[in-house]
Structure 1
């Protein structure tokens, strides 16, 4: 399995988007996907911001129980490197000459790919660095290129932003499943305000997805349907949307979450 995790927001007041991405990064690594198969993009370095009283640390929970920016975090793209063009290049493997292997997403025809993106968005777009946009049509085109070049078996696209479901509306490539934090016309909401930091530290959708995953192990048999059922409107203050329009080859809700969030191999001893 491979994972692309993107925080598209800069500035201190968007601390929660960086924490969203780092929380997701922590979960996929805990479930077994190694750093060599994760591309992490952070648009700002909140850990080292001068306004951060917990210098060098990032938290995504109410009581600062879990430090997300530890020594084992490998950020592949940071700051101004995080752009819509860069996301498309990573997905399609069309890099500038000299790009190191560690900055590349290199799945094959049998790979499952997790794509997670968080930030500020609207109907059919997500903002990057508060300056540019990545549009739904560009995401769909990148996935079409990936399919044409045998760069995935199945894709799980997760989006945590306002009107997040609209980012998947143009996708037509087969075997792509999308789970989003909000529908058309809906906002996504933050979860905890940290008075010491003066900002919210995580968004509701990501927090409750990760709350679900904290109970799992790499070999767990929990399904997408169970995760979807746990993301209730009273928790999110919005409606989680599961888009299965191109995921028609099997029952999406019966799919084991470990098929995307884990990396468990079965070995057979040869004598």
Structure 2
């Protein structure tokens, strides 16, 4: 896909620009049409297309031209001109650019999906998504061996104090199970949530564009997310040694996912191929 935004009129003085590049430039850069028409590789069909776009619409033969349009007709004509301009911009610039970007992404995915590097990259957003879901699973459990909470709820219901008991439980963190967002380490859970979302977005973007800077950003964000996930999980595992706490499966799962995410991010970063030099033009 040609980066049409980087071309200037001076660049079109290069006779080595091929016809396909000229076609893409003509579809996206109306300001370069005069230089494209002068280029030696401008084929007749492309020249006809450009001249057809440049030519103003002609009234049908035999139709008399109106003289002195009124104010209403001027407004209508102006609105029609704006609508035609928007339609031309979409047809000649926006639509080809969107279609070209979509085709480029499809070609990139199809070209790379047969390699193990592609599947390692694909595992990054998958693991990060699983980590995002794990944030809302039980990370730690509060033991209630003697069913004290059950007795308290029954007594509060008899006395009409259920709402007060619920508010006190929320304030003191006295929940039977707590996840990464509702526990005392809420800030760490929110940071992990944001990092997982960023890791998913950057990993998907690096898959469809194969841009080196996006791969680096995706690997760095994924590794950081995994590292923080491991640290938080270890804190929960250590805290579960208290008499009234036990570890939830979410903490164990987060530990495993953190290790996998760091591994996938490091492998994806080290597996980047250096681009080969372009072939000389014949």
Question: Fold-level match, TM-score > 0.5?
Answer: no
Larger radius of gyration between Structure 1 and Structure 2: 2
Instruction: Give the TM-score range, shorter chain.
Output: under 0.3
TM-score normalised over the length of structure 1 = 0.23
TM-score normalised over the length of structure 2 = 0.22
Q: Which has the higher strand share?
A: 1
Q: Which has the higher helix share?
A: 2
